[in-house]
Structure formats: structure tokens, C-alpha cells
A = this chain, B = another copy of it.
């Protein structure tokens, strides 16, 4: 990749258009976290391939902002380019607007593609730039159209119907619920642009985005009509017929802007965090600015979806146990990539398997401290029979999505490794044990995963947990468990991960993750209380645990969990596998 040539091509366009800087965010017109190759413009212009980051190029300088998950990876990937790494949330790091102000001076004009940023992001950016001596923002130019000659096309993979057996509620019924929610917000219709929301609403799945079973489209709902804006080549006659019975019309993907202009009702709900700026500005009717009601609907799983999760977790657990047993006794040499491939092969043997839910993170020793490490042929290292392997992985099954992290002792450990492992495990278990009143948000319970770490002066800067889709994206909001305030309360039927970790740069990383389900706990004079049920079925390595650091309730939970894992998985395993599992699940 010749980043310098690309920068030079870009600057030619910028000069012609009198733009002092151009901003490349990491997303697509649908505000996707992971995007189709067509929209990997930030990666193309900077060489940095993390899922989150913003590149900014001026006539004489370039910089890339990313978060702590990617500090080490970005440093590596930006080497030898003009790009300066800007570490988000670290003291002294300027904001994008501040940096542009310093580099370009007052009165400059800078550019961003209005299709690839949300309305609220662009509005905030406009306000921030204005404070930098009145810098203005142009949004109607995509320089990549001119300079990215071998740019991949927008994907045209075909769409399939997600059976009611797994979805649990028809598209027709979901649309009726959405319309009711819109009426409650005094809105006549809405534009949906989040790809997982559209897939969930219509009970359709695709394969346009790596690991995310979604398809590129928009959905416009009014009181009378529902229109799916999509490239028709993606729709078989079967899917077309299905859409017709569900009351959904079809129009070309590119027609969405005109569809909005023709929208004839009084008002329309747009989620300014979801809808891109260009479409937002195309609306002629009154806009109701609200969070999309679909976000919260989708996160609350129905009975069929929960049953699907349980079935998928059982198969995923079987694959994990077979892998862990193999890893225990496999002959070396093995590398981070070879064990990732092996794990993928075990998962692929399972019924209803439909690929990975994200790229496996297999980080051995110091690589485990790179939070979103993905081994490549350049970074791959051989495993030895010592130290810790951090393994964060998951799969898509037709009936559910999995996300699990285990940190595995491959042999002797240092005292520091055992101590950190046990502290992280304590945090994990405290979330598993937590009971909370209905209405509590993840921010309120987050400390339970961290307090043991904080007492030792340790911390992790990522969230403790995120929602998980039902054969959909592995990251699903708006609820989360994290230090930052997230007002979305935890609701019965939501999935959420529990994944505290600690990362000691240059040494090792530890993370322990299960996917949990929010369930009722008890109802008293003080209201309804909720709890978590662990959906993930896989032993947690106990060999690094320092038992005297655990509270009795923590030891009890660990022993209970292992008995539960053993009882649930063993009927599906061979005698050899059962023997291995019995040992892995033996009480502390």
C-alpha cells in the first residue's frame, strides 16, 4: 500500500476544491461498526485497519484518532507514514476540531462525506469547528470517488429469509409494534438505516458485511407503506414474494433520497445518531428527533430467540470443549493463527453454523495485552507450554450469536499472571452474582467488575459488557455495562456480555467473558428485581486461580457454574471428551 501516493492524490483534489483538510471517519452510510470493503475509506487512506478511528489529512500533515483498544496496533500500522497517532481519552490529545484549528488556521474550509457520518456527528463537528476561528465544513464531496481507482463495489450478496422458528415474531407484527411506538412519539413514520435494525425488522439476513449477517439497504416506514431500498439483484423471487406477503414494497437502493423527498406525511422520526447527515438534510417534512424505537425492541429477545441462544450456546460450548481438549495435548509447533483456525474448524462442524461473529482474537503472552489484536502472518508467533493465551471468539449460528473469551494457561505462570487472572475472575463473577432493581442501567453495576481491580490500582478502559444480537451483530446497543453513563436500563430478555480484563503492555492480557441473559429475580415490597443467567457453556480455566483470593460466594459460583457446564454439555460429548471436561470442571 503506498499511503504517500494516496495522500498526494487526495491533496490534489483538496487543492482544486480549496479544502484545507479532509476528514475520514470509520463508518458507512448506515453507521455500521463493521463496514463493507466499499466503505473502508479511512483504512485505504491511512493504512490503519481497526474498527474505530478517524483520519484527518491537511495539505501538510495527517493524523489518526483511535481508542485504547487500538493504540498498539495503530502505532504499528502507521509506521513509515505521515500519520501522527492521536490517542483518544489520553490527557493532552487534541480533539479533531482543535487539531484542524491549529493546523489550518481560522476561516479555512474542510471536508467530510455527509453520507458517511451521522447527522448528530456532523452537527457537533460544525459547532466545534466554528469555535476554531470560524472553520466551515463542506459535506457534499467524496474524494474517494475520484482517487480510489480500484475501490470495491457495494456488495450484492443475496438476502435470505430468517425463519420464524428462530425469529419468533413475524415482520408484519414487528412493523405493527414499530408503528405503535412511532405513534407514542407523535411520529407518522421513520427512516431506518441501521442494517441490523432492518434485518431484525424484516426477518431477513444477508452477508454484505464480514461476520455480520446484514445486507445494505434502507427501510422507510410510513402509516400506509413500508419500502425497502435495496439493490434488487440481492432479492430472489422467493424473498420478493415473502416481502409482498409481509406488506413490504421494494425500490432501488439509490432511490432512498428521492423516497424521503416524496414522503408525504406530516412528520418523520429520524434518529440523528443513526441516519447520515446527507439523508437527514434531504427530509422536507418535520423531523421528530428521537432514538429509533427499533433499537430497544431488538435487544429484548423473545422466547424463540432465547431458546435459539440456548441451543447455539450448547453447540458453541461443545466446539469450545473439543478445542480446549485438543489444545491441552496438541503437539507443538502451534501459532496464534493455527489455533484460531483449529477453533474455527471445530465450530464449523456444528449444525446451523454460519461463520464467525467476529475475527478471532488469539493473543499469546504480550500479544494478549493488545486489546483488539488480530494475528496476521507478520505478527503471528509460536505458542509455548507456558504463559497465557487470550482467546476471544464467537460464531454465527442460524439460531443465535455467540461471544466468549477464555484466557488459558498453556503451562507455568508467573505470580503476577495468577494474581491478575484471579482479580479479573473476581470481577467477572461479581457481575454474574449481581441482583438489581428493574430500571437500573449498566453504568450502575459496572463497578462490580472493577472494584477488586481498582483496589490494586488496575483498570481497563473498555466497557464491561455489550448486547449480543440474535443471529445478528455481535455488538448490539443501546444498553451496555460500562463506566460511561448509558441511560438504557437493563430489561428482562436482554443479552449482555460480562468481560472484564487487564492488559499489561509487553507482558500479557487477561479477559474472561460469558454472554448473560437478564432474567427476573424476585418481586418484593421494594419493587421488581432482576438478575443474570449465564448463557455461555464452557469451563473457565481454574489452574491460574489463587483460591484464597476468592470470596466464598465467588468460589461457590465457580463450582456451581462448572457443575452446570458439565451437566449440560457432557450428554453431547464422547467418553474421552467427558473425561477431559470432568477434570476441567472439578470444584476448587
Q: Which A residues are closer than 8 A to B by beta carbons?
A: 434-437, 440-441, 443-448, 451, 454-455, 457-459, 483, 485, 487, 521-524, 526-527, 529, 551
Min CB distance, A523 to chain B, in Å?
8
Min CB distance, A184 to chain B, in Å?
13
Q: Is the CB of A436 within 8 A of B448?
A: no
- Give the chain B neighbours of A437 by CB distance below 8 A: 454, 459
CA separation between A523 and B454, bound complex, in Å?
11
CA separation between A526 and B459, bound complex, in Å?
6
Q: Is the CB of B551 within 8 A of A458?
A: no
Report 19 cross-chain contacts, Cβ distance below 8 Å, ordered by A residue.
Answer: A434-B451, A434-B454, A435-B454, A435-B457, A436-B447, A437-B454, A437-B459, A440-B483, A443-B485, A444-B446, A445-B447, A447-B448, A448-B451, A457-B523, A457-B524, A458-B526, A459-B527, A485-B485, A551-B551
Min CB distance, A392 to chain B, in Å?
21
- Give the chain B neighbours of A435 by CB distance below 8 A: 451, 454-455, 457
CA separation between A448 and B487, bound complex, in Å?
19
Q: CB < 8 Å: which of B454, B483, B526 contacts A529?
A: B454
- Give the chain B neighbours of A443 by CB distance below 8 A: 443-444, 485
Q: A459-B527, A485-B487 are in contact. List 4 more A-B contacts (CB 8 A).
A: A443-B443, A443-B485, A445-B447, A485-B485
Min CB distance, A476 to chain B, in Å?
22
CA separation between A523 and B444, bound complex, in Å?
24
CA separation between A410 and B466, bound complex, in Å?
49
- Give the chain B neighbours of A458 by CB distance below 8 A: 524, 526
Min CB distance, A471 to chain B, in Å?
33
- Give the chain B neighbours of A523 by CB distance below 8 A: 457
- Give the chain B neighbours of A448 by CB distance below 8 A: 447, 451
CA separation between A340 and B372, bound complex, in Å?
61
Min CB distance, A40 to chain B, in Å?
32
- Give the chain B neighbours of A446 by CB distance below 8 A: 444
Stoichiometry (number of copies): 2
CA separation between A451 and B521, bound complex, in Å?
13
Min CB distance, A480 to chain B, in Å?
13
CA separation between A459 and B444, bound complex, in Å?
14
CA separation between A448 and B450, bound complex, in Å?
11
Closest to A453 in B: B526
CA separation between A487 and B436, bound complex, in Å?
21
Min CB distance, A548 to chain B, in Å?
11
- Give the chain B neighbours of A551 by CB distance below 8 A: 551
CA separation between A270 and B523, bound complex, in Å?
45
Min CB distance, A178 to chain B, in Å?
22
- Give the chain B neighbours of A454 by CB distance below 8 A: 434-437, 529
Q: Is the CB of A526 within 8 A of B457?
A: yes
Closest to A457 in B: B524
The 4 closest A-B pairs by CB, nearest first: A457-B524, A459-B526, A435-B454, A435-B455
Q: Is the CB of A522 within 8 A of B444?
A: no
- Give the chain B neighbours of A444 by CB distance below 8 A: 443-444, 446-447, 483
Closest to A461 in B: B526
Closest to A486 in B: B485
Min CB distance, A433 to chain B, in Å?
8
CA separation between A437 and B445, bound complex, in Å?
16
Q: Is the CB of B487 within 8 A of A457?
A: no
Closest to A503 in B: B526
- Give the chain B neighbours of A527 by CB distance below 8 A: 459
- Give the chain B neighbours of A522 by CB distance below 8 A: 457
- Give the chain B neighbours of A526 by CB distance below 8 A: 457-459
CA separation between A227 and B529, bound complex, in Å?
53
Min CB distance, A247 to chain B, in Å?
32
Closest to A444 in B: B447
Min CB distance, A146 to chain B, in Å?
40
- Give the chain B neighbours of A521 by CB distance below 8 A: 457
Closest to A437 in B: B459
CA separation between A210 and B434, bound complex, in Å?
42
Min CB distance, A151 to chain B, in Å?
41
Min CB distance, A42 to chain B, in Å?
29
Q: Is the CB of B457 within 8 A of A529?
A: yes
- Give the chain B neighbours of A445 by CB distance below 8 A: 447
CA separation between A527 and B91, bound complex, in Å?
10
CA separation between A529 and B444, bound complex, in Å?
19
Min CB distance, A423 to chain B, in Å?
12
Which of the listed residues A436, A523, A524 has the most CB atoms from chain B within 10 Å of its own CB? A436
CA separation between A537 and B527, bound complex, in Å?
35
Min CB distance, A105 to chain B, in Å?
20
Min CB distance, A266 to chain B, in Å?
16
CA separation between A523 and B457, bound complex, in Å?
7
Min CB distance, A32 to chain B, in Å?
28
CA separation between A447 and B450, bound complex, in Å?
12
- Give the chain B neighbours of A459 by CB distance below 8 A: 437, 526-527
- Give the chain B neighbours of A440 by CB distance below 8 A: 483
CA separation between A444 and B446, bound complex, in Å?
7
Min CB distance, A505 to chain B, in Å?
8
CA separation between A247 and B457, bound complex, in Å?
46
Closest to A527 in B: B459
Min CB distance, A557 to chain B, in Å?
13
Closest to A446 in B: B444
Which of the listed residues A435, A457, A483, A551 has the most CB atoms from chain B within 10 Å of its own CB? A457
CA separation between A459 and B436, bound complex, in Å?
9
Closest to A454 in B: B435
CA separation between A440 and B459, bound complex, in Å?
12
